[in-house]
Structure 1
Amino acid sequence: MLTVKNFLQLAPFKSFRLVAGSKGLENKITGVNILDNPDASDWLSAGELLITSGYFFSENATIQKRFIQRFKEINCSAICIKPHIYLKGIPESMRNLADELALPIIEIPYGIAFSKIMNIVMAEISGRMNELNQASLDIHSQFFEISLHGGGLKKIALGLAEMVNNPVILVDTDWSVLAVSDHEQPLIQESLKKTGDTLTFPVQIFTDLPKDFERIQKPITRGILFDEQEYPCVIMPVYFDTIHYGFILVYQIERPLTDLDYVALENGSMAIALEQMRLLEIERTENRIRRDFFDQLLSGQIKDLDALAAYDTTIDPSLNYTVLILSIQTLSHKSDSLMKRKQSEDRLMKNLLSSLTTYTATRFPQLHLFSRKNQLVMLLGTEPKLSTLKTHNEVSDTAERIRMYLEQHGHSEREIFCTIGSTLPILELSQSFEEAKKVIQLLEDDSKEEKIYFFNDFYFDSFLVDSISNEQGKKFYTHYLNTLLAYDQKNNTSFTPTLKAYLAHHLNIAMTSRALFIHRNTLLYRIEKIKGLLPVDLEQEKNTFALQMALKLYELHH
């Protein structure tokens, strides 16, 4: 085992001078690295001997202190500096801090090539590779045993914590906690935050994380403050193939990590990714089974209660049911690739389905749900004896509570709205499902200022769309509105929306002017102009209905 002390005793390095950190002479050297770029510090590994000209230290004491502390957090073995090129000398403040941290600083004599140091050190430590490879195989076998016996993420976290002799937290890509090795550990209790029913790690405390650092797929170290003391925290991205599954966090409370601990992290990362894939596949299978059953029910293929009873389901056939569809529209960044957006959407739907299943289990026992693409489809059971008004209120209240819960769960970069069909007996649910889908179609180009929409409020719109072809609809609204629409377009006026408001308020001048926030005289002027542009008498009842229908057809086709 090559230590810093052994290194200084090697014949080629007898002229090297230890200037600080003598308490760290027993530090083990497991590798060697040249560092002259401050941004490359995240690429360093535990046990490495660092060789540098000191260029990035410059003469700035703050920068010197930050990097000495960072090297200690990473658990580098020693720093070899060649001064007098960029660094005039090794400052006393650096030496004092290195003494305090037991991090040896070694001065390289002028004229010694960095490549010579690297070659000699690598030759010395190469004999240890067989030992390291055997230890790596042992670690791999331990994780294989955990995975083989279905230990799950909790067992992986416990096994990894035992190997590295430090507390471990597993989080997903949104930094929500998946597993913790020790919930009673004070630093873990203090650092994790509760959001709804979910524990999250506040990654915002790390203000200097590299952009998209998880793509590096390499552990980095940052400090975490607790009781006025800073502890190094190793952050290891969990990747498999090109898919990112989350992070491993290791709080270095008991001891610094060694190179063998980093081998354990790499194997743990693989075990976590495989476990996540296994859980995802189980969830997909369960959801597919649920979806296949609901697809048959909602398409009307289940014709009688005997056929329904053949399925192992908790649906109560004595209840009436309402179909609710929650549409989830993610606001992806345009710069994201198609693959990244798809992964992000799949991960979001998985998290929402899992979270909502937990949330509704005890609160809404008569609610059944499954996911399809970017939608959560729900069947809500209600007592048939309830009045129409009470049923409507119960469905509306349930939809609003669920929608609010989902909006508060996780990131806010998404839009959620709910469409609701009629309340019907279980075997007639295909109609309720078609109605909820129909509302989504009618809302396709709508701004969706409201968040919950009942089919009953769109019955007339649906009738017009289903009963009148596009060509017939265009002919109808053109007959009544063509002159008015052309005038608005040519003169940049708003007579068409004024007519709509006037008709909606039953030709009441006072109510219409208040609704449009305009003066009564302004409205009277507009009405007179509108009357001159319409082909029919606005005051006749049959014409007001025809104009309302023309306006509705115009909206549906634009």
Structure 2
Amino acid sequence: MKLKELIEEDLLSGVKYIAGENGNYRTIKTVQTIETTQVDKYHQADMLYLLDNNEMLKNNEKMTKLITQLAESHAAGIVIMENQAEFLTYDLLELAERLAFPLIKMPNLFSFSDGMQLFFEAMLQQQTGQLRKIIQSNQDLADLVLKHPKVEAVLTAGSKIMDTPIVLLNSHFQVAVASQELHGQENALTKFFRETRIDYFSLEKRITVEMGDDDYTLFPLFPAFKENKAFVGVKNYRDTDEFRIILQQLIMNTLSFVNSQIDMLKESDFRNLSGFFLNVLDGGVSKELLEKRLLEMNLNPNTKYTAIMTNVISVEPSKMVNYHILEQVQQLVTWFINEYDLPAIVFSWRQRLILLLDSSENEDHFVTAMQEFISDKTPDSYQFLIGYSKSSATIENLIDIFKESREASRTVEQDPALKIRRYQPKYVQELLSLIPHDESSDFTDKFLAPLLKMDNVEEREALISTLEQYFYYHQQLAQVARSMFVHRNTIIYRIKKVEDLLGVDLSDPQTAQNVQFALWLHKAN
């Protein structure tokens, strides 16, 4: 407890300061008497010494040494009886003032043991009062929680209990709520905290920062995921005794509980938002209802977005992705977006995150920065991959850009070294290359085998070339002849030769389609 608090007890109404009252902030834990002149024996911190030795009091040199030594040792002060005060010289009183070391007098008693008893009883009375305050404070805070209070109510109650202003900062070091004494200062405090060089993302221990003549002690409040932690800032906090530490912990526990309730509401909102966008993807929301809902969400229905799909995979193919990692990535992505105040919407789809980024933003820069940020914060045994759309669209046409992001995501999952992939439309040759080789060979043999197995290489190549041009020019014989610089009859002869070899009629659309596709597969392989 503080010396000031002890001296204010009714039992000590006759106790007065002689000098050094400016040191009444000192902590006192117990009381001891000084009975000898051996100054070096007395140097215990937080001890209030009762000086029961007139010889010492009359020795100015030893008293100077004693006061200096006890002040440096963080002792609480020295107590003498009222009739001994005359032994203290002006120099000793001036020294006590300069060192902020209390010299105290108590009424004349029969013995110093009576004085010790008096102080012990006062300390017990003070501790009993503190215990009552702890119990009452705990009850008051519990009652607030039961009434589902706003965070502001808890902060204001906490500031009264701690007798100092309190603020709640979110995970971005922005003052979300302030107790009543600091109303109107939230923006200035946010600017101050964010301009400090503190790595608040990684901050996990209590820290004190100076702000002019004041200081703020910041205590992290940890929810289920540290990426979503908050901070409690206590102005001019001093944990000088167990009493204040217990009060501080009561307030931290209450704010932590209230903050976790807020996190649960945010998670519920996220699930509802995801459900809404899944309905949009399924086509289950009418245009009128969609526009109404978007306006309720303060979103412009005409805004175009780029779709971004994220995924987490294990480096070891046989290892499943831990659900905790997926939750952590969700928190990290949300933190990243909020930290830089980015115009992006986030929802979940089959354990993946879908981000809709306002098309006015540079999507290439965004996905690169996000991939680096998330990868740096997740375990090395996992990879964070991103696929995103080439096009942009309004939410009404969400399915189009969603499909592009999904296709890009599939591509990067097949080659994780890419990390990031933007959707690129596949051309015919790319699509053909995706067909398994054995299936491709079987199809080619079925429709082209006699042609491909001709012994005369020169004739075979001429027939294949003619067939390709025949399909390219939509079976227009004159155009095929001109493109190959031969007579039209030559083309007619070659096409008839192909039909005879393959046993087909190329004037039949289905047959022509199969033969053309077989040619594409042959060329692709």
Q: Which has the larger radius of gyration?
A: 2
TM-score of the pair, normalised by structure 2? 0.49
